[in-house]
Amino acid sequence: MLDDRDRKLLDLLQRDADSALTDLSERVNLSPSACSRRITRLREEGYIDRHVMVLDRARMNVATTVFVMLKTAHHTADWLERFRAGVIDIPEIVEVHRLAGNLDYIIKIVVTDIAHYDAIYKRLVSRIDLFDVSAYISMETLKNEQAVPTGYAS
């Protein structure tokens, strides 16, 4: 069961996992050793999934985002496994979601430019049968938050 300190600690860590333990402990009003024990417990209980560094996409030369909406005529477990295998090893594909509603999947792809997207598109359609593919180029990112709300966890 999480308490308010746990939630505050998780909120701080997900915004900056590089925060010094002394800073974190002061912000949640705990000693550094007690704070360290809480972080260890939160990791062991699965609240902390992993630690990552968020890279600057412009500096990495993949500043263009393309959202691809997919429809498929196939809804079998075999097709889903082929689809999963088809997208998993393409590093430019950073998110894939199965949807409810008119579309089956949405894919977020980060690329250098539209020619780069075209190469990814060709790789994807050579691996799996798709019924309908629509691409939408992001013109501007209005919000890109990695942190999730901590108030709902128990």
What pLDDT score does 1 carry?
Answer: 86
* In a shared domain, residues 69 and 120: yes
Confidence (pLDDT) at 62: 98
Q: Give the pTM.
A: 0.88
Q: Which domain holds residue 39?
A: 4-44
Does one domain contain both 13 and 73?
A: no
Q: Is residue 153 part of a domain?
A: no
CATH number at residue 23: 1.10.10.10
> pLDDT 10s digit of each residue in the chain, 154 long?
899 999 999 999 999 999 999 999 999 999 999 999 999 999 999 999 999 899 999 999 999 999 999 999 988 999 999 999 999 999 999 999 999 999 999 999 999 999 999 999 999 999 988 899 999 999 999 999 989 999 998 8
Domain harbouring 117, CATH code: 3.30.70.920
Task: Confirm whether 154 is domain-assigned.
Answer: no
Number of domains in the chain: 2
User: Which long-range CB contacts under 8 A does 55-60 form with residues at least 24 apart?
Assistant: 57/110
Same domain, 117 and 74: yes
